[in-house]
Structure 1
Amino acid sequence: MSSASKKIRFGLIGCGQISSRHVASIKTSKNAQLAAVCDLNEQRAKQYNVDWTTNYHNLIKRDDLDVISVCVPNGLHVQMGIDVAHANKHCLMEKPLGLNLQQADRLINAFKKSGKKLFAVKQVRFNPTVLALKDAVSAKKLGKINNAALVVRWCRPQEYYDNDAWRGTKKLDGGALLNQGIHYIDILQWILGPVISVYAKTDTIGHKIEIEDIALAILKFKSGAYATVEFTLSTYPRNLECSLSVLGKQGTIKLGGPAMDTIEIWQVANCPKPTIKNGLPPNVYVGGLYQGSCPNHIFVYQSIINYFLKNTKTFADGLEARKSLEIVEAVYRSAKQNKEIKLPL
C-alpha cells in the first residue's frame, strides 16, 4: 500500500442509515473503492450496486478487501470487530467501540494480537471550529483552563426509537450518552485532557425506552479544571444547541450551533478570532425529523487512506476511542451508585 495509485478496498457491514455517509466518503476518494457490502436485508444490501451478501462472515473472509467498516447496532460491534481481526483485516468501527470497557478491551486486544489496525469514527474532531479551539488550547492561548461546559440539547422524537427495534434498548443501543453524546464527550477530553473523577445523574423522562434520555455530570480533569455536562434528547420540536464553552485565565471560547459547528464567542487576548471556512452542515434524517452531527466521515476515511499511502497518523484508533467510552461508563456507574467515580476505572 505504498503507491499513490493504490486503491484501498473497503467492505461494509450494515447498510442502514449511517452507511450512506460511509459509502459517499469512499466514493469521493480516488484512492478508495467500495468492493462489497453486507446486510441482513437484501434490498438494503443491493442499494449500493456492488457485491453483496447477507452473511458478514462471507464478506470478511474475502482476500480482496483491506478494511472492513462496521456500521451495525452498537451491541453487535465487538463480536463483529473481533471476527474482522481474526480474518486478518483492518477495521473502521462506528461509535461506540462497545457497550462497556470490558467489551472494548476485548476488541482492542484482538487487533493488537492480529497486528491489524482498529480505526474509530470520531468525525466531530474534524469540525473546523473544534480544530480551532483545539489549537488555541494546545498553544495555551487561554492560559490555565478553569472550567468548561458541554451542553447538548437535541431532539429525538419517539418515532426515532419506534422506527428501528434496536434503538432505545439496553442490549443493542446501550444508552443515549453512549450512542449520541459520546462524540462530544470525546471532544471534551480531547481538548482538556484526562478526566480523574465523575459525578452524574441519568434518567428517562421523555421517551418510552429502556435507556436514559438525559444525563447530567460534573467532571474533574487531571489539570485541575472542571466541566459540567448537560445532555438530553428530550428537546422539542427540534435540536436547540450543541455547545462547548471553555474558560481560561486569559480568555473564553464558546462553540455553538446545532452541532458545535459555529464560533459564538472568541475572547482571547492576543489571539484574534480565526476565519473559519464553512464546515459541512449537520446530518438531516427522515425528511428533517431530526439532525445529527456534521458529516465529516470523508475526513475520517481520508485519514485512513493517508495512513496506508503516506504513513501519516491523523486518525483516532481503538485506544483513543476508549477514552471517551471510559468517561461515559463512569457516568453510568456514578448515576447507578449515586457517588463520585474515580478514573481510571
Structure 2
Amino acid sequence: MTPAELGIGIVGLGSIGTTHARALRQVDGVEVRAVSGGAPGTAAECGWPGAVRLTPEDVLSHPGVDVVAVCSPTASHAALGAAAVEAGRHVVVEKPLATTVAEARRLAELQHERGRLVTMVAQRRYEPDYAYLKELAVGGRLGELRLATTHVHWLRDDAYYAAAPWRASMTGGGGSLMNQGVHNVDLLRWLCGPVEEVTAQYATLGHGIEAEDTTVATLRFASGALGLVSTSTATPPGAPATVALHTSAGAVELGQGEVLRWNLPGVPPPPPDEAVASGAADPAAIGVAGHARMWREVVAAIRSGGGHDADAVDAVETVRLLCAIYEAARSGARVRPGELR
C-alpha cells in the first residue's frame, strides 16, 4: 500500500522558503499544503498551486500539515520550531537551529518529550563528496586527523542587507559566521568530531552594519587535532566555500561540487557533482539539489520512526560551537563549547 502523502507547511516563503518549496517538488510522497509569507502567487510559481496562504500560527495548526519547515528570519527559528512541535508537528528548521544554546537544548528536549522529529537543515552533509568523505572518516581510511580548515569567503552587497535588516543585526542572527558560515562549521564538526576549545576574533570590515562580516577562529578538537574557521561576506568577488582535512595519510580539499585536492594514496576521490552550486556571490544561486536530498532523508526518517543524523540533539552541538566562537571573539578568552548552557 502506498503511504499517505505527508502534508508540508512552510513558514516564511522568502528566498530560502522558495528553495524548500522547489526542492519538495523532487520528493515523493509529500504535498505543500500551507505557507506563510511571500507574494500571493509564490506558492503556485514554486509548483504548489493548491497551498493556502495563512499566518505563521495558522500554518502550524493547519489540520493537513504534518511537517513544518521553518524558513523565517533566524531569530524566530527557535520559537516557531518549539510552537510547531507543541502543535504536534515534525519540524525542519533552517540553519541555525537557534541562536542560543538554551533555545537549542529546549528544542532537543521537546523532540524527546513529544516524540516528533526536529531537524536542522544541513543539506551539505548530503552532497555526495562530503557523504563519501564522512564514510571514509568513519571507516578509518583517512588516517589520523592533524589539521582541519574551512573557509567561507563570500560577498554580499549592501542591497542584500538592506533587503532584510535582520541580516545586519547580531541579535537578529546575522553575521558571516551564523548566517553564511554555519553549514561549513557544521560540516567540520560532523567530519572531525567534538571541539574542546575555541579562540576567535571578528570584525566588520566591508559593510556599514552591526553584525560582523568577517570572523576567524582556531579550534582544538577532542582528538587533539587543530582547526581553523574563516568566514566573510566582504571578500570580493566571492569564492566557493572549502573544507580541507590534513591527516597522517595525506590531504583532501573539497569545494562545492568539486574536488580541489586529493592526496590519499590508494583511496579514490569522489566524482564531481554538477548538481551542487555555490552561493559565493549570490544567495539565490545555491540550487535545490541538496535540500531535496535532505528532505528525502527526513521523509524516510518520519515514515520509519527512526532517527536522523542532523536532529535537534546533534544540532545543539553545532549551535554550541557557533556560540563558542562568538563568545571567544567577544571576550578574547579561550572558550570550551561543552560548558555553554
TM-score with structure 2 setting the length: 0.91
Cα distance, 1:42–1:294 mapped onto 2, change above 3 Å: closer
Deviation at 1:241, TM superposition (A): 3.3
1:305-316 alignment to 2 at 5 Å?
305-311=299-305, 313-316=307-310
Cα shift readout 1:64-119 (whole Å, capped 9, x = no counterpart) = 21101110000111111111112111111111111111221222223332221112
Q: 1:39 maps to which residue?
A: 37
Output the CA distance in 1 between the equivalents of 2:319 and 2:208. Answer: 25
Q: 2:267 maps to which residue?
A: 271
Q: Of 296, 313, 321, which aligns to 2:315?
A: 321
Query: Do the aligned residues in 1 keep the contact of 2:20 with 2:288 (CA within 8 Å)?
Result: no
Paired letter, 2:107:
L
Deviation at 1:57, TM superposition (A): 1.7
Q: Of 2, 12, 15, which aligns to 1:14?
A: 12
Deviation at 1:290, TM superposition (A): 7.0
Cα distance, 1:148–1:227 mapped onto 2, change above 3 Å: same
1:73-222 alignment to 2 at 5 Å?
73-222=73-222
Deviation at 1:134, TM superposition (A): 1.5
Q: Which stretch of the first structure deviates more once superposed, 5-14 or 275-284?
A: 275-284
Q: 1:244 maps to which residue?
A: 243
Paired letter, 1:35:
R
Deviation at 1:11, TM superposition (A): 0.9
Query: Do the aligned residues in 2 keep the contact of 1:13 with 1:70 (CA within 8 Å)?
Result: yes
1:341 aligns with 2:335: yes
Cα distance, 1:265–1:50 mapped onto 2, change above 3 Å: same
Cα shift readout 1:211-247 (whole Å, capped 9, x = no counterpart) = 11111111000011001111111111x3223111111
Cα distance, 1:8–1:244 mapped onto 2, change above 3 Å: same
Paired letter, 2:246:
L
Identity across matched positions, percent: 25
| Matched position secondary structure for 1:64 | coil
Output the CA distance in 2 between the equivalents of 1:276 and 1:261. Answer: 6
Cα distance, 1:142–1:86 mapped onto 2, change above 3 Å: closer
Deviation at 1:279, TM superposition (A): 3.4
Output the CA distance in 2 between the equivalents of 1:54 and 1:293. Answer: 26
Paired letter, 1:18:
I
Query: Do the aligned residues in 1 keep the contact of 2:148 with 2:246 (CA within 8 Å)?
Result: yes
Cα distance, 1:329–1:103 mapped onto 2, change above 3 Å: same
| Matched position secondary structure for 1:205 | coil
Output the CA distance in 2 between the equivalents of 1:175 and 1:134. Answer: 28
- CA-based RMSD: 2.2
Query: Do the aligned residues in 2 keep the contact of 1:169 with 1:211 (CA within 8 Å)?
Result: yes
Deviation at 1:210, TM superposition (A): 1.2
Q: Which stretch of the first structure deviates more once superposed, 219-228 or 126-135?
A: 126-135
Paired letter, 1:247:
H
Cα distance, 1:120–1:30 mapped onto 2, change above 3 Å: same
Cα distance, 1:289–1:76 mapped onto 2, change above 3 Å: closer
Output the CA distance in 2 between the equivalents of 1:161 and 1:295. Answer: 26
Gaps of 5+ in 2: none
Q: Report runs of 4+ in structure 1 exceeding 6 Å deviation.
A: none
Cα distance, 1:157–1:40 mapped onto 2, change above 3 Å: closer
Output the CA distance in 2 between the equivalents of 1:71 and 1:213. Answer: 22
Deviation at 1:292, TM superposition (A): 4.6
Paired letter, 1:52:
V
Deviation at 1:46, TM superposition (A): 6.8
| Matched position secondary structure for 2:146 | strand
Q: 1:28 maps to which residue?
A: 26
Q: 1:261 maps to which residue?
A: 257
Cα shift readout 1:172-214 (whole Å, capped 9, x = no counterpart) = 2343211111100000010100000000001111111111111
Output the CA distance in 1 between the equivalents of 2:317 and 2:23. Answer: 26
Output the CA distance in 1 between the equivalents of 2:176 and 2:259. Answer: 26
